[in-house]
Amino acid sequence: MNVIDLDEQHLSLYVACLEDWNDEIKEAGRHKAEWYASMKNRGLRVKLALDERGEVGGMIQYLPIEQSFARGTGLYIIPCIWVHGHKQGRGDFQRKGMGTALLQAAEDDARSLGAKGMAAWGLILPFWMRASWFKRHGYRVADRDGIRALVWKPFTTDATAPAWIRRTADIPLEPGKVTVTAFCNGWCPAQNLVFERARRAAGDPSFGDRVVFRTIRTIDHDEFLRWGISDALFVNSKEIRTGPPPSYDRIRKIIARQAEKIKQEG
């Protein structure tokens, strides 16, 4: 196994989160590529894990916490660590130590850059980005938000724990319309997929002028801080669960129900 820094040769594979075989990645648009182009100048670091054949099987991305969805000082944070585990496409690379090797390489790199610690987020349920996996590698919980845990590992004695940045503003609605509000940061293709499906669904010609689609780009950190929301989908004031990504038909049906109410009221 070999862990390398991201290079031009592997850039398109990284942008596709190693799932270049997956049509849904294409549906998610170019948001991840645009996010990378912006964030690489703000401290983003990416490493890839290669097996003995030179095949890429895993990736990790980490950046200064000051540029992220959490509050902290002098830390780096991991938005994503992913070892390809599907039988389709590249095949299953999990349970071979790639994740551990990537995490160690990122920690070593962050230390060399003067970081006081490393943070990450994880789910308390046994799904993707499991908080329990980070705990096995010496991380401890710093903050909780529902099923999301913010975990961290201090490198220095004067390191301070991170905290979630929580929602700070209500979603403004357009009177007499169905207001579809989509927050898009760009770092996660799954969330980018939700954004693109919502945009298409809201633009269905059958809704006429009863539906308004609002885009909020949180790659601008000040814009993120204004709302305290990185990626999310709201239909009127109701937040729609985006993990796993709902289908286009599911999103359209939610919008259609609200549009029908407006039609009947009018």
In a domain, 90, yes or no: yes
Summarize pLDDT for 211-254 with one digit per residue, the tens: 999 999 999 999 999 999 999 999 999 999 998 999 999 999 99
- Residues 136 and 182 placed together within one structural domain of the fold: no
- Largest Cα span, the chain: 65
- Residues 58 and 156 placed together within one structural domain of the fold: yes
Summarize pLDDT for 82-119 with one digit per residue, the tens: 999 988 888 999 999 999 999 999 999 999 999 999 99
In a domain, 65, yes or no: yes
CA separation for the pair 122, 70 (Å, rounded): 13
Please provide the distance, in angstroms rounded to a whole number, between the alpha carbons at the two ends of the chain.
64
Question: Taking the CA of residue 232 as centre, how many other CA atoms within 13 Å lie in the half-sphere pointing to its CB?
Answer: 19
- Kindly compute the dihedral angle of the four CA atoms of residues 21, 25, 26, 30, in this order, to the nearest 10 degrees: -130
In a domain, 171, yes or no: no
Q: Look at residues 130, 164, 198 and tell me which one is the last residue of a structural domain.
A: 164
Tell me how many domains the chain contains: 2
- Residues 27 and 134 placed together within one structural domain of the fold: yes
Indicate the pTM of the whole model.
0.94
In a domain, 59, yes or no: yes
CATH number at residue 156: 3.40.630.30
Structural domain span for residue 213: 178-265
* Token duo for residue 265: 């009221």
**Ranges of H-type helices in the chain:** 11-15, 23-27, 31-39, 98-112, 131-136, 189-202, 221-227, 248-265
Summarize pLDDT for 138-158 with one digit per residue, the tens: 999 999 999 999 999 999 999
Alpha carbon of 190 to those of 29, 173, 187: distances in Å? 11, 26, 9
- Residues 69 and 189 placed together within one structural domain of the fold: no
CA separation for the pair 56, 14 (Å, rounded): 9
Strand partners, 145: 148
